[in-house]
């Protein structure tokens, strides 16, 4: 075995193979230096690569079996792409031992002699510079072409390899495509390296999906039309909705910021709330959502994959404001309107002024769903593909609201982020900015906001140059802003700028179609949790209808979320409802109270379920309508109306027994 005693001799050998040129691949140069200096290998040794078999091979294959099952589809996919060009595909473990391979049967004898075979050892320690060995050492994709191989017996080969990495960056395996012969020009292998790298990332993604199959996963794509078929990024969430892992594409897009990303909630990274993402994953409401990364403004399109087992119960993050309705259902304008005449008029008005550049003011009691309604307006507009950004003016300290709304430049103040921060106005550029509790905005901020609305540009704190901004403003308040204007607490000119169109959202107890809305919310909550269709007992239905709902839509959503989580066999019973609802539905004697007058005509369950409940009660009472009405807590007139609607005919009226 020859040795190389001096640096000059090492460099001479490198130059003889064309490795030490100025344009040489630095990965190849580093591998050669390790082969010579660290491993003291002889490039002239003409022994074929070592090939393991039997028990020795199984010792490497057994620990890799789960990975091999995941990778098998990627190996076959790559082989089908390259087999006609005479390539073999190898999958090796972290020691460089080939644990799986695909090759043309006619070439197997020749491939075995060359070491392109099952059980072959391609570590850098044994073979010196080779694609698999160098890939393991540097965890980077590369091509080692002909004379770039360290050992002279391998200089006829061309090999392209890519690492398969775990979510923590550790090496799982190496994917390699090699050929016995190829054109002399290394540039002929550029496409091959790209194919190998793409296939390796496919295997990585499959491993990611398997590893986190019991978690919510966000699949990201850069183009909406490819969202179902091309995954550019994967993000896994824990049971609290925090990011616990991202794939390599997300790491690269964030330029090394993945450590800061882990542990953060989704709404700290993208311009969408977790509840909105979860609502899009229901079996009957699967949709692609447009997301924008807050740190870069880059646009993505997201699909949510629910856990393979029981759906996680995701709680609001600490960053969610307490006065904000924790809405897990993204309802459309029509679903929010239901059959209520006033709400239908509201939606008709919105449809006429939407996309006309008119500011919209929403008024209503706390919990009436002002943000849900604003979100529905946004998704019904031409801006639906752009960000929807919400800011609660009452939940942010006065000292911070300016930076939150307008952002700041680099070094604007002590403690500022190194690269500054894009404020909510810039985050909402070309989209919608929802200003909740606008009546609590400080007067100084009102002045700055008025200027932005008039001039359509902002100057972030510490910046000198104005930045154009185009936003649809929707504001909301439960206060009487005119009273605040009269008291000097709200600017009159800003009030009229924001009050382009005022919409009053009725309290839940005032709605004539309370049960229709309940049904819509229940369906969305059930879809959000992956439960499919959830039904409800007559007792639970009566309790919901009898309740006064002081917390309005927010309270209804939370009550139904709790009931869906507690119920068994997708059927809600009275005991599944929160205690305050059950208590309110009971009289002093413990008997159920009748539903209030405004809810007597309600329909909370699905139509088929309502008909079954009514028919069952009529039969139980031997078709005595009075007693059936008393048991159901509705009027006799309502009973007759529902019988007509659902085609229920009493036996005596039908001429039966």
What is the model's pLDDT at position 68? 93
Least reliable range by pLDDT among 150-154, 226-230, 275-279: 275-279
Where exactly are the structural domains of the chain? 7-209, 212-305, 333-506, 507-599, 606-657
Quick one: pLDDT at residue 413? 54
- pLDDT score, position 159: 97
- Give dist(CA 264, CA 318) in Å, integer: 10
Per CATH, 7-209 and 212-305 having the same topology is answered yes
> Helix, strand, or coil here: 248?
helix
- Give residue 644's pLDDT: 66
Chain centroid to Cα 246, Å, comes to 11
The CATH number fitting domain 606-657, selected from 1.10.10, 1.20.120, 1.10.3470, 3.30.70:
1.10.10
The token pair at 79 is 């082989």
* Among 115-124, 443-452, 529-538, 605-614, the least confident range: 605-614
Q: Name the CATH superfamily, with its identifier, for domain 333-506.
A: P-loop containing nucleotide triphosphate hydrolases (3.40.50.300)
Q: Residue 222 has what pLDDT?
A: 85
215 pLDDT higher than 90: no
pLDDT one-digit tens code per residue, 136-187: 999 999 999 999 999 999 999 999 999 999 988 899 999 999 999 999 999 9
Tokens 């993050």 appear where?
317
The angle formed by the CA atoms of residues 431, 432 and 434, to the nearest 5 degrees, is: 155
212-305: CATH number:
3.30.450
pTM of the model: 0.49
Q: In angstroms, rounded to a whole number, what is the distance separating the alpha carbons of residues 582 and 619?
A: 27
Angstrom distance (rounded) from CA 114 to CA 87 = 13
**CATH architecture group of domain 7-209:** 2-Layer Sandwich (3.30)
Tens of pLDDT, residues 480-538: 898 899 999 999 999 999 999 999 998 888 887 787 778 778 887 887 776 667 888 88
CB contact at 8 A, 99 and 141: no
Q: Tell which wins on pLDDT, 129 or 636.
A: 129
E strands, 226-323, are 233-237, 243-246, 289-292, 299-305
If residue 131 lies in a helix (H) or strand (E), which one and from where to where?
Answer: helix 131-138
The dihedral sign for the CA sequence 213, 216, 221, 226? positive
pLDDT attached to residue 396: 75
Q: What is the pLDDT of residue 518?
A: 82
d(CA 114, CA 48): 7
Least confident of 30-39, 86-95, 489-498, 610-619: 610-619
In this predicted structure, what is the pLDDT of residue 113? 92
Query: How high is the pLDDT of residue 151?
Result: 94
Answer for the pair 213, 308: CB distance below 8 angstroms, yes or no: yes
What pLDDT digit, counting tens, does each position of 80-126 carry?
999 999 999 999 999 999 999 999 988 888 999 999 999 999 999 99
Lowest mean pLDDT among 18-32, 453-467, 526-540: 526-540
In which band, very low, low, confident or very high, does the pLDDT at 417 lie, cut at 50, 70 and 90? low
Asked if 615 contacts 623 with a C-beta cutoff of 8 angstroms, the reply is no
Q: What is the pLDDT of residue 153?
A: 93
Residue 589 has pLDDT above 50, yes or no: no
Residues, the chain, total?
Answer: 657
What per-residue confidence (pLDDT) applies to 123?
96
* Structure confidence by residue, pLDDT tens digits, 361-400: 999 888 888 888 998 899 888 888 788 888 888 877 776 7
Distance CA 363, CA 249 (A): 43
Strand, coil or helix: 291:
strand
Q: What is the mean pLDDT of the chain?
A: 81
Q: Which residues are paired to 100 by β-bridges?
A: 91
User: What pLDDT band is residue 410 in, cutting at 50, 70 and 90?
Assistant: low
- What percentage of residues in the chain have a pLDDT greater than 90? 33
Give the CATH number of domain 507-599; options: 3.40.50.970, 3.30.1330.10, 2.130.10.10, 1.10.8.60: 1.10.8.60
Q: How many CB atoms lie within 10 A of CB 560?
A: 26
Q: How far is CA 649 from CA 210, 478, 613, 619, 646, in A?
A: 55, 48, 15, 11, 9
Question: What are the pLDDT digits (tens) for 636-649?
Answer: 767 776 776 666 77
208-219 as b/e, with b when 16 or more CB fall inside 10 Å?
A: bbeebeebbbbb
Separation of alpha carbons 93 and 75, rounded Å: 14
pLDDT at 601: 38
Q: Please give the average per-residue pLDDT across 539-543, as a whole number.
A: 84
Residue 189 has pLDDT above 60, yes or no: yes
């Amino acid at each position: 075995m020859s040795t190389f005693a001096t640096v000059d001799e090492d460099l001479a050998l490198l130059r003889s193979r064309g490795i030490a040129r100025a344009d040489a691949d630095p990965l190849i140069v580093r591998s050669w230096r390790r082969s010579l200096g660290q491993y003291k290998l002889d490039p002239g040794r003409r022994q074929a690569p070592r090939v393991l078999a039997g028990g020795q091979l199984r010792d490497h294959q057994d620990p890799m079996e789960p990975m091999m099952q995941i990778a098998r589809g990627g190996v076959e996919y790559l082989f089908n792409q390259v087999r006609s060009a005479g390539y073999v595909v190898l999958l090796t473990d972290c020691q460089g031992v080939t644990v799986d391979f695909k090759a043309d049967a006619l070439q197997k004898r020749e491939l075995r002699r060359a070491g392109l075979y099952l059980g072959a050892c391609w570590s850098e320690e044994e073979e010196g510079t080779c694609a698999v060995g160098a890939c393991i050492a540097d965890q980077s994709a590369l091509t080692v072409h002909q004379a770039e191989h360290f050992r002279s017996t391998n200089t006829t080969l061309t090999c392209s390899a890519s690492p398969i990495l775990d979510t923590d960056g550790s090496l799982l395996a190496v994917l390699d495509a090699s050929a016995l012969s190829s054109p002399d020009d290394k540039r002929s292998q550029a496409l091959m390296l790209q194919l190998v790298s793409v296939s390796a990332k496919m295997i990585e993604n499959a491993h990611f999906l398997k590893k986190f199959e019991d978690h919510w996963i966000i699949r990201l794509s850069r183009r909406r039309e490819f969202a179902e078929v091309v995954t550019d990024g994967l993000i896994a969430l824990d049971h609290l909705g925090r990011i616990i892992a991202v794939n390599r594409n997300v790491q690269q897009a964030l330029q090394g910021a993945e450590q800061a990303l882990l542990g953060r909630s989704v709404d700290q990274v993208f311009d969408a709330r977790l509840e909105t993402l979860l609502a899009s994953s229901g079996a009957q409401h699967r949709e692609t959502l447009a997301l924008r990364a807050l740190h870069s403004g880059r646009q993505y399109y997201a699909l949510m994959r629910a856990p393979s087992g029981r759906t996680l119960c995701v709680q609001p993050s600490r960053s969610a404001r307490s006065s904000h309705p924790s809405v897990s259902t993204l309802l459309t304008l029509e679903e929010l309107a239901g059959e209520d005449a006033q709400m239908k008029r509201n939606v008709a008005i919105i449809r006429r002024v939407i996309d006309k550049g008119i500011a919209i003011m929403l008024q209503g009691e706390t919990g009436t769903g002002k943000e849900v309604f604003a979100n529905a307006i946004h998704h019904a507009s031409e801006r639906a593909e752009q960000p929807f950004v919400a800011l609660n003016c009452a939940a942010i300290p006065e000292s911070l609201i300016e930076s939150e709304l307008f952002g700041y430049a680099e070094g604007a103040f002590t403690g500022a982020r190194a690269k500054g921060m894009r404020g909510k106005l810039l985050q909402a550029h070309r989209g919608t900015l929802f200003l909740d509790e606008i009546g609590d905005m400080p007067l100084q901020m009102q002045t700055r906001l008025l200027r932005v609305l008039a001039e359509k540009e902002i100057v972030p704190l510490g910046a000198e140059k104005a930045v154009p901004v185009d936003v649809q403003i929707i504001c909301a308040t439960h206060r009487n802003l005119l009273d605040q204007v009269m008291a000097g607490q709200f600017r009159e000119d800003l009030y009229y700028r924001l009050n382009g169109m005022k919409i009053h959202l009725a309290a839940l107890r005032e709605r004539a179609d309370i049960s229709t809305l309940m049904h819509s919310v229940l369906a969305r909550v059930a879809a959000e949790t992956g439960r499919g269709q959830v039904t409800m007992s007559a007792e639970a239905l009566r309790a919901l209808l009898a309740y006064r709902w002081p917390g309005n839509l927010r309270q209804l959503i939370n009550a139904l979320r709790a009931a869906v989580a507690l119920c068994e066999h997708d059927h809600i019973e009275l005991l599944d409802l929160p205690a305050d609802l059950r208590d309110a539905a009971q009289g002093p004697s413990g008997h159920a109270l009748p539903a209030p007058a405004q809810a007597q005509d309600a329909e909370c369950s699905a139509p088929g379920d309502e008909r079954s409940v009514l028919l069952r009660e009529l039969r139980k009472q031997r078709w005595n309508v009075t007693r059936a009405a008393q048991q159901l807590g509705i009027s006799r007139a309502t009973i007759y109306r529902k019988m007509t609607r659902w085609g229920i005919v009493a036996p005596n009226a039908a001429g039966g027994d």
